[in-house]
Structure 1
């Protein structure tokens, strides 16, 4: 199983403690997929600073393919994080060199050697999704909590597995997932925090609850859910089994500080 994740990365800086952890949606997904047993590659840019060195080393140590992780002149992206209880609140975000991220023809050819490609809403990768589909790739995209973003309508036709973050199972999110499916996504999924998860495949809804865990830090929970879900799909599991695997994967992530 070969999966490529593409786009943004950042160093998560916990302001109160001064601790710094590598992260970013595509990076996290690549790491979690590797831990599940997939061959994962991360394609992105880091800066020429010490954070960039640290990011490359950390990802490589996890066994993720970093042959197409580039270091550019400038700063690595940084997100400032504050813990409120056990939940994290994102503060200022400096994109650094990732603000100008693009893919080369060689990188596109490399991505095409994989079964599935994943990116997120902050990664500047959306313009390549029609190409990914032309190359025969399965596609996954994390829209985060940006349910009103214009990309939901324009990008979903090229996304097989569309992920969203919401708060509860209600009439609004059910209608929303139906609409995402109707414009092209095969399966639309919403993670609902403490209320579990919900998926729609054009025929029916699927629900799953939560796994009890001692919550230390919720950083990376959504990304690890996505990893479990798409790993399950590529293994041929049912949607219910994928929701279960995503939930179990996320339950491990919230037991420690940082995404991984």
Structure 2
């Protein structure tokens, strides 16, 4: 079983403490997928600064294949973070070498051979997803809080499993938005709702799932953990409710410690 994560990575730099943690949406999903016993790779780019090799080594140390990560002159991406009452507050994002990241032919061919490919809003691969899906790979996309963004608009018709997050809970407006997104191509649309759990729509019904109660230390990576658990369930041919529960259980582990991983 192999999950191929592709796109952005970044160092989460906590300005208040000076600590820095490797992360980034697809990177986190790959790491959490391996933590659950799966096999995963990460495809992307890092810089020649002090964080570049640290990023590559840290991802590899978690058991993720980094053979398709390339290094380019410049800075590795950085997200400035503050921790306020257990919630991470994101500050400035310095994109670095990721600003010009595009897949090489070899990277694209590699992804086309995988069982499932996952990326996100800032991965800069939305224009490649139709080709990857046409080659037979399942495609998952995390639209974060912005499924209306141009990158998400392009990605959605080429996506099998579409994720986004909302702070408004399960409302008629949310359900209407999920139904509209589903009509553009995904098999399943999933909205993560923070401490209110998650909601999925498969074209037939809306399915709710609560959280797994835990002591919250830091919310960094919780949503990515959910996605990893859900996708592992999909690859194991489990039902959507079972996949949602796997996501919630995986998220509860990440919520219990500081930093993404």
Q: What range describes the TM-score normalised by the shorter chain of this pair?
A: over 0.9
Q: What is the CA deviation profile of residues 31-67 of structure 1, one whole-angstrom value per residue up to 9, with x for unaligned ones?
A: 0111112210100000001100110110010110000
Q: How does 1:1-260 map to 2 (within 5 A)?
A: 1-167=1-167, 168-260=169-261
Q: Using structure 2 for the length normalisation, give the TM-score.
A: 0.98
Q: Using structure 1 for the length normalisation, give the TM-score.
A: 0.98
SS of 2:164's partner is strand
Aligned-CA RMSD value: 0.9
CA contact (8 A) 1:42 1:65 kept: yes
> Residues 121 and 205 of structure 1: is their aligned pair in 2 closer, same or farther, counting only changes over 3 Å?
same
Q: Structure 1 residue runs of 4+, over 2 Å off? A: 150-155
CA contact (8 A) 2:25 2:224 kept: yes
CA contact (8 A) 1:153 1:183 kept: no
Number of matched pairs: 260
SS of 1:243's partner is helix
How far apart, in 2, do the equivalents of 1:112 and 1:150 lie? 23
CA contact (8 A) 2:126 2:154 kept: no
CA contact (8 A) 1:153 1:180 kept: no
